[in-house]
Chain A
Amino acid sequence: MTQPEVFADATKAATGSPLIEVSHVDKFFGDFQALKDINLVVGHQEVVVVIGPSGSGKSTLIRCINRLEKHDRGRIVVDGIELSDDIRNIQEVRRETGMVFQQFNLFPHLTVLDNITLAPRQVRRVPKVEAEAEAMKLLERVGIPEQAHKYPGQLSGGQQQRVAIARSLAMKPKVMLFDEPTSALDPEMIKEVLDVMVELAQGGMTMIVVTHEMGFARAVADRIVFMSDGQIVEVGPPEHFFTNPTEERTKLFLSQIL
């Protein structure tokens, strides 16, 4: 089986022009090195799934992309803006980047509608009526418009995660980061969240997804990145990745989870 060369090269975008460029990034937590010389380029409309054993630095990587964690060495450029210590740059990158967390992190004291409209109104200064109309459209899209006036605590886990996705989309981000979005969900709710993510990917959203859902990775990913011990071990399209991995560590990992 021949694989297109470009898909196996982490430093080139698989589709479209580069949107995110991560080059030579190191990250330390005290003495522990969480990321070691990470290089990754993600193109417009590309879906990259990051897999790997726990503690391999997957979450740290995507948390560096919107500066929830500060990288210690190397460069991260998002949509032409380099993440530096300049707070304006950071804020600009955060506005362009949506993030969905494992624990949803919805705001429990606000209704679903207020959760979604908060950032557009506060950050983008969208008028209330407009923001609410947009929020209802997004709730429609994730399939729960009838929950608009409830509080997060009144929803199921799957519904909460769908609200969290809608909340991120409300900022009209150029890229969506997913940090194990289904790991805290009961099995019967995983599908409803994955369905939304599949729809999103098909709609042309650029996505970086940290997940253990191999079915999702196989179906949706343009490229799969396998990480271990803070390093990118192997990159490739799903068909290559699941049928014919080259690295020993990848084979070992896949044999453990498949």
Chain B
Amino acid sequence: MSADAMRPPSRSGPSEWMRRNLFRTWYDTVLTVVFGALALYVLARAIVFVFVDARWEIIEVNLKLLMVGRWPSEELTTIAVAVAMTGLLIGLVAGLVRGRQVRAGTAVRPSIGSRLADLAGRFSLLIGTALLLLALTDTAGPWTMAIATLVAGVVGRLVGGWLGSRFLPRWVTRLGALLIVAIPFVVFFYLNRAVPLAAWEGFFFNITAAMAGILLCFPLGVLLALARRSRLRLLQSMSIVYIEFVRGAPLFVLLLMANVSLEFFVPAAIAPSKVVRAITVFTLFTAAYLAEIVRGGLQSVPRGQEEAATALGLSPFKSMLLIVLPQALRNVIPAQIGQFISLFKDTTLAGLALGILDMLSAAQVITQQPAFRGQGLIIETLVFVGFLFWVGSFTMSRESQRLERKIGVGER
């Protein structure tokens, strides 16, 4: 018998795939028909709702309220400038990272076409959503902002790529790093001067609270994780008590407590604003979860790594900072990003708990406007809010997977 005859017959093609996976047995067929029909029905209803029944004018009319709340119209330019500067920053960092990789020989310089295709693929959802939002506006402002951000991003990328691929004296790199770190603060104070943080509302609040929470909880979470592994008993028990206490309380309860109980301890005159309270609670809450994630990461690094660093004469601090922690954090990227996505969505709780007009609160408020009251438009607004959060979360999730692949180069 020849080898060819012994090989099982291989058939392929869509009909074969369907027969094998959908209609293999009679009950497979029944399940396929029933659930196929159900899926088609739901899909059809969804399409009809989105494109025919839904009255999206409630979103169109209230877009500004949903996005930035009651931010004064004459100060909207401030937001546009801030967003464009953020675009510049992102482009700059991306360019610098890329440039340094090219210089070190760890990345190849791909053609501009494939770069653009890659970017378009990665951020298609984000770009599509931005275009959708732009289509809903009837003023030129948002368009100007979008174009300015795009231009700033491209300029930042080009400048960053140019600088990164060049050898620069150490003081220039240090100064540059300092400037880059300073940009977010500058942007914040620029915005804060126009409209104080306490009055930030809408989706703008959700995004700000999430970003602030992520940035602030990160160092705190890492410190808590290190404290929990510390040999100093006092430090260790303090960390354990904190983590277990915070993880044991519902976030909503903590937010409510921040709202009502702070006045017991702090005079009203110097009590922080609701937005600051919300960010504080988000930070403290997420730090406790992050600490446990990071602890898991620390445990995943083999003991030999620390031993090798120690044997080379590195101090315990440097061995942690340069050898163990980078690997630990890399190993738990998916869990970390999961926690950050969770935080992003949980910012909607601040609306109800603290009475901040975040995007979800705004979505409920606008259904009570005289023009829309009693028409059951809450579904439209909730779908819209849910969609924007999904776009943000999904983009974070996908970028985290990409990050994991990128820095997994040295995986053993």
- Residues of A with Cβ closer than 8 Å to B? 66, 68, 91, 94-95, 97-99, 101, 103, 105-111, 118-119, 122-123, 149, 151-154, 164, 167-168, 171
Contacts and interface: CB of A to CB of B under 8 A. Distances in A.
B64 interface: no
Nearest to A66: B311
Interface string B285-314: 000000000000000001011011111111
Contacts of B407: 109
The 4 A-B pairs with the shortest beta carbon distances in the complex, nearest first, are A151-B410, A105-B308, A119-B312, A105-B304
Contact of B312 (A103, A110, A168): A168
A107 B327 CA distance: 9
Nearest to B307: A68
Contacts of B326: 109
Contacts of A122: 314, 318, 322
Given A105-B305, A149-B105, A91 B313 contact: yes
B412 A95 contact: no
B304 A103 contact: yes
B116 interface: no
Contacts of A66: 311
B412 A152 contact: yes
11 contacts: A91-B315, A105-B302, A107-B305, A108-B412, A118-B322, A123-B314, A149-B104, A149-B105, A152-B412, A153-B409, A164-B308
B313 A94 contact: yes
B322 A94 contact: no
B304 A108 contact: no
Nearest to B306: A105
A98 B104 CA distance: 28
B294 to A, nearest CB: 16
Contacts of A109: 326-327, 330, 407, 410
Contacts of B411: 108, 153
B312 A94 contact: yes
Interface string B313-357: 111001000110011001000000000000000000000000000
B2 interface: no
A78 to B, nearest CB: 13
Contacts of B309: 107
A133 to B, nearest CB: 16
A171 B313 contact: yes
B12 interface: no
A118 B312 contact: yes
Given A107-B305, A109-B327, A118-B322, A68 B311 contact: yes
B304 A151 contact: no
Contacts of A107: 305, 308-309, 323, 327
Nearest to A68: B307
B313 A95 contact: yes
A171 B407 CA distance: 28
Contacts of B106: 111, 149
Interface of B: 104-106, 302, 304-305, 307-315, 318, 322-323, 326-327, 330, 407, 409-412
A257 to B, nearest CB: 26
A179 B315 CA distance: 22
Contacts of A149: 104-106
Quick one: which of A151, A167, A168 has the most chain B CB within 10 A?
A151
Contact of A171 (B302, B305, B312): B312
Contacts of B323: 107
A123 B305 contact: no
B310 A94 contact: yes
Contacts of B409: 151, 153
B125 to A, nearest CB: 31
Contacts of A153: 409-412
Nearest to A103: B304
A154 B218 CA distance: 31
Given A101-B304, A105-B305, A122-B322, A110 B410 contact: yes
B375 to A, nearest CB: 57
Given A105-B307, A149-B106, A151-B409, A119 B327 contact: no
Nearest to A107: B323
A15 to B, nearest CB: 25
Given A91-B313, A105-B308, A108-B410, 4 more contacts: A107-B323, A107-B327, A118-B312, A122-B322
Nearest to B308: A105
Contact of B307 (A91, A98, A101, A119): A101
Contact of A99 (B311, B314, B315, B327): B311
B297 to A, nearest CB: 13
A215 B311 CA distance: 28
Contact of B313 (A68, A105, A110, A119): A119
A94 B311 CA distance: 6
Contacts of A123: 312-314
A111 B407 CA distance: 12
Contacts of A94: 310-313
A118 to B, nearest CB: 7
Contacts of B330: 109
Nearest to A96: B313
A119 B410 contact: no
A152 B407 CA distance: 14
A35 to B, nearest CB: 18
B410 A68 contact: no
A68 B312 contact: no
Contacts of B313: 91, 94-95, 119, 123, 171
A98 B412 CA distance: 24
Nearest to A123: B313
Contacts of A154: 410
Nearest to A149: B105
Contacts of B315: 91
A217 B32 CA distance: 70
Quick one: which of B302, B308, B309, B314 has the most chain A CB within 10 A?
B308
